[in-house]
């Protein structure tokens, strides 16, 4: 086998189509609110590098850096209204991410579960798949379009609708641990976890609805550290990193 063949084989993507879940807090960097320009640019570069491997990428983005429905409910706003406010926050994040991805030379489309015709296309499954097949990055905003559902659930739902091969969730830690690694020195990273262990051990990686949606179609979920440079590209190109839930 020639050296060029070896290199091509090593770079072959593990999956053809992936759904990447990015939390809103990720865009805030070390802060807890708003946008951090450095973090936003870093995430965009990581996605751009991964896309150049030939993987079709759809993204579901959260809005926790701007509004968290569960938190503002405590100031007297009913939960449904608070959740709709959170959906609007994901739209702001999606537009911001689109801007920096296009600076990286990527062709993108923002698709919204809520009508926002001036800045986003409506989420239509066939249209989203068409964009992916054309090599465009599809950014899904507006959650599921319904209150009382998290963006984790939206990610699992979109992954199923778009026939993604895997759902990858970028976090600030390198996978799923037996305890919170930021609080416990004895926390151990798990390389693999079964769906039912997430539920029975209350590992709090994703909400139960999201895990159940993935389990029903045996779609793997990979949790990884999105802030380790090159991690997303290595993951999508075949390297086993983080924790795989299957």
> Which structural domain range is residue 224 located in?
14-245
57 and 50 Cβ atoms separated by less than 8 Å: yes
107 lies in some domain = yes
196 lies in some domain = yes
> In a structure prediction context, what are the per-residue pLDDT tens digits for the chain, which is 246 residues long?
343 333 344 467 889 999 999 988 888 876 678 888 999 999 999 999 999 888 999 999 998 888 876 677 677 788 888 889 999 999 999 999 999 999 999 999 999 999 988 889 999 999 999 999 999 999 999 999 999 999 999 999 999 999 999 999 998 888 888 777 777 777 788 888 898 888 887 777 888 899 999 999 999 999 998 989 999 999 988 888 888 898
Q: What is the CATH number of the domain that holds 221?
A: 3.40.1160.10
Domain count, the chain: 1
156 lies in some domain = yes
9 lies in some domain = no
State the residue for tokens 């029903």. Answer: 216
242 and 175 Cβ atoms separated by less than 8 Å: yes
8 lies in some domain = no
pTM, two decimal places? 0.90
5 lies in some domain = no
2 lies in some domain = no
Looking at the chain, how many residues does it have? 246
18 lies in some domain = yes
Cα 149–214–182 angle (5° rounding)?
Answer: 75
């Amino acid at each position: 086998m020639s050296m060029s063949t070896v290199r091509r084989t090593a770079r072959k993507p593990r999956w053809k189509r992936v759904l990447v879940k990015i939390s809103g807090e990720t865009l805030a960097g070390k802060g807890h609110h708003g946008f951090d320009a450095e973090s936003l640019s870093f995430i965009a570069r990581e996605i751009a590098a991964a896309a150049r491997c030939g993987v079709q990428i759809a993204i579901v983005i959260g809005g926790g850096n701007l509004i968290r429905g569960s938190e503002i409910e405590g100031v007297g706003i009913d939960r449904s209204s608070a959740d709709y406010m959170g959906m609007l926050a994901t739209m702001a994040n999606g537009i911001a991410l689109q801007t920096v991805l296009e600076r990286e030379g990527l062709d993108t489309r923002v698709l919204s579960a809520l009508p926002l015709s001036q800045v986003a296309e409506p989420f239509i499954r066939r249209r989203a798949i068409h964009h992916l097949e054309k090599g465009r990055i599809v950014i899904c905003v507006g959650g599921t379009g319904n209150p009382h559902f998290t963006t984790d659930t939206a990610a699992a739902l979109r992954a199923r609708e778009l026939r993604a091969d895997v759902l990858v969730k970028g976090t600030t830690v390198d996978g799923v641990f037996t305890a919170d690694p930021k609080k416990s020195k004895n926390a151990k990273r798990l390389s693999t976890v079964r769906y039912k262990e997430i539920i029975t051990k209350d590992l709090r990686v994703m909400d139960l609805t999201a895990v159940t949606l993935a389990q029903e179609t045996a779609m793997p979920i990979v949790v990884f550290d999105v802030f380790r440079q090159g991690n997303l590209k290595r993951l999508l190109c075949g390297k086993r990193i983080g924790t795989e839930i299957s």
